[in-house]
A and B are shown apart, each in its own frame.
Chain A
Amino acid sequence: MIMDYLVHILILVAIYAILAVSLDLLAGYTGLVSIGQAAFYGLGAYTSALLAVRGGVPFVLGASTGALVAAVASLPVSLAAGRLRGDYLVMITLAFQMVAYSVMSNWTGVTGGGRGIPGIPPPRLFGWSIDSRVGYLVLCGGVALMAYLVVSRLCSGPLGRVLRAIREDEGAAAALGKNTARHKMSVFAVSAGLAGMAGALYAHYVSYIDPSSFTVMESILILSMVIIGGAGSRWGPVVGAVVLVILPEILRFVGLPSSVAADLRQLLYGSILVLMMLFRPQGLVGNHGFGR
């Protein structure tokens, strides 16, 4: 029983680690702060769930399609990001988040609206149904490791240099011949694709999704993981995911009523963020945070 619970927590850590790492590529390494990551997370979840429930599409194909749909959906945001950054970009990503949430809630014929999509089957890989929690942890851990390696690789070497230059001074990067709009578009697509993959893993894990899992609060939670762990650092977002998944779980053992615990969780996130900004703006294991 306790083992099951611990494995469940680790699965959530793995899924949020994918989300945080994907956002770190965008916000930490490239300086494109977004509060729309839950929209891409939701797009991946809904795409994979719908393909599995209504079309009987295998998990690998459904999850890959979910990632692809999320990556394609990032194009309008990244086109805007070609011209904008800072506060204006945050507003654009917030608008995208609100639109995506609205579509998930109101396109009832497809998404089921508030009723959501029940009965999402557990994934099958190579003829093997992953219906045990330990099996799912291995799958999520594997995908999280892949996401980490992809982002680490992209953020080192020549491309990493360009992304850091865009973060520090986009005009200076352009003066050196770097097509900053194209780079931002690529990074948005990879980041959204990874978030979409996390969404597919989540949907097939919980077997039921509705829009409440993909709200702006979820986007803020993912961004908080990046900030608290350390933006633009290799392990920062993973550490952030561990802290912000496990910390609220500790509250369960304090014995507060569930309604109070939910509010307290928000209060806790906010307090941690304020304290981090005051005393360790670079995050727990980061070097510089979002500051230029």
Chain B
Amino acid sequence: MNALRCENVRKAFDGIQALDGVDLAFPPSGVVAIIGPNGAGKTTLLSIMTGFLRPDAGNVFLGQQDISRQPPHRVAHLGIARTFQDLRLIRRMSVVENVMLARPGQRGEGLFYGLFRFGVGEEETANRQASMGILAFVGLEERANELAGELSYGQQKLLTLAVCLATEATVLLLDEPVAGVHPEMAHKIASLLLDLKRKGKLVVFIEHDMNTVRDTADCVIVMDEGRIIAQGPPADVLQQPSIMEAYIG
């Protein structure tokens, strides 16, 4: 499997250095947590790795391929999916349609097949079945026909995970997957992350909830002021006084 890595990635906004020479190499699979105070550059890094932002300098590689200047849809085709802090579901679309939308390689999305529909009916049936399977995996199959915007916040978080999975990406970059949800839902999402690891995916997630980080991550990366200040197993990294200092300020 192609591994994801960043080499000396730099990004500034209006003179403020959001990323200041980030070097990172992710394992091919597993769960990696990125932590750090607000403004540390975590989401900027995630956006650069998914093509939503271009680095000022440095590169992002997937295997041997430099993906730093690829548009988001190409990055997604290469097998990297992401979620957003503010969810960004298609709220006026049903739950199952949100998942179906994310399925890759749909012929019916083209103009010709969209109009004439040769074989699109069968494709849709298969697509719906696969999507229902993914919804069952995250426990949302009974809400399949409701509008995404009508789900509770925690369920919407689950749906973002389902949408991410539907892309069949091997690398999932999740921006605060348990923020704002009740502990029971956070526990459920954490166990799903471990399931994904068992399926051979690489899950990289940004999180402030240290319990989730401890329970799921094989490796923790700590960022502050656009730099990596520590990385390693949670048991080691989260004991370091300098980490707490970076968080508390």
Complex Cα distance, B91 from A74, in Å, reads 30
Contact with B163, one of A150, A168, A176 (Cβ below 8 angstroms) = A176
A135 vs B108: C-alpha distance when bound (angstroms): 36
Determine if B196 is an interface residue (Cβ-Cβ < 8 Å).
no
Q: Taking CB as reference atom, which chain B residue is nearest A187? A: B111
A177 with B77: CB separation less than 8 A: yes
The proximity string for A residues 201-215 relative to B, scoring 1 for CB distances below 8 Å and 0 otherwise, is 000000000000000
**Which of under 10, 10 to 19, 20 to 34, or 35 or more describes the interface residues of A?**
20 to 34
Closest B residue to A168 using CB positions: B90
CA distance A186 to B111 in the complex (A): 7
Residues 175-201 of A contacting B (Cβ, < 8 Å):
175-180, 183, 186, 190
Question: Quick one: which of A168, A169, A174, A186 contacts B73, CB cutoff 8 A?
Answer: A174
- What mask results when residues 135 to 153 of chain A are scored 1 for a CB within 8 Å of chain B, else 0? 0000000000000001001
- Specify which chain B residues have a CB less than 8 angstroms from the CB of A154 in the assembled complex: 111, 114-115
| Interface assignment of A246: CB less than 8 Å from any CB of chain B | no
Looking at chain B's contact residues, is the secondary structure mostly helix, strand, loop, or mixed? Answer: helix
CB distance from A261 to the nearest CB of B (A): 41
Contact B115–A174 (Cβ < 8 Å): no
Taking CB atoms, residues of chain B closer than 8 Å to A172 are: 84, 88-90
B contact residues around A179 at 8 Å (CB): 73
Q: Secondary structure of the A side of the interface?
A: helix
Q: Contact at B115–A150, with CB atoms within 8 Å?
A: yes
| Cβ A177 vs Cβ B90 within 8 A | no
- Cβ-based interface call for B104 (8 A): yes
Interface: B24 (CB within 8 A): no
Interface residues of B in 49-70 (CB under 8 A from A): 50, 52
Which chain A residues have a beta carbon within 8 Å of chain B's beta carbons? Answer: 150, 153-154, 157-162, 164-165, 168-169, 171-180, 183, 186, 190, 288
Chain B interface residues (CB < 8 Å from chain A): 50, 52, 71-73, 76-77, 81-82, 84, 88-93, 97, 100-102, 104, 106-111, 113-115, 117, 120, 123-124, 127, 163, 167
Closest 7 CB pairs of A and B: A159-B114, A158-B108, A177-B76, A174-B72, A172-B88, A176-B102, A186-B111
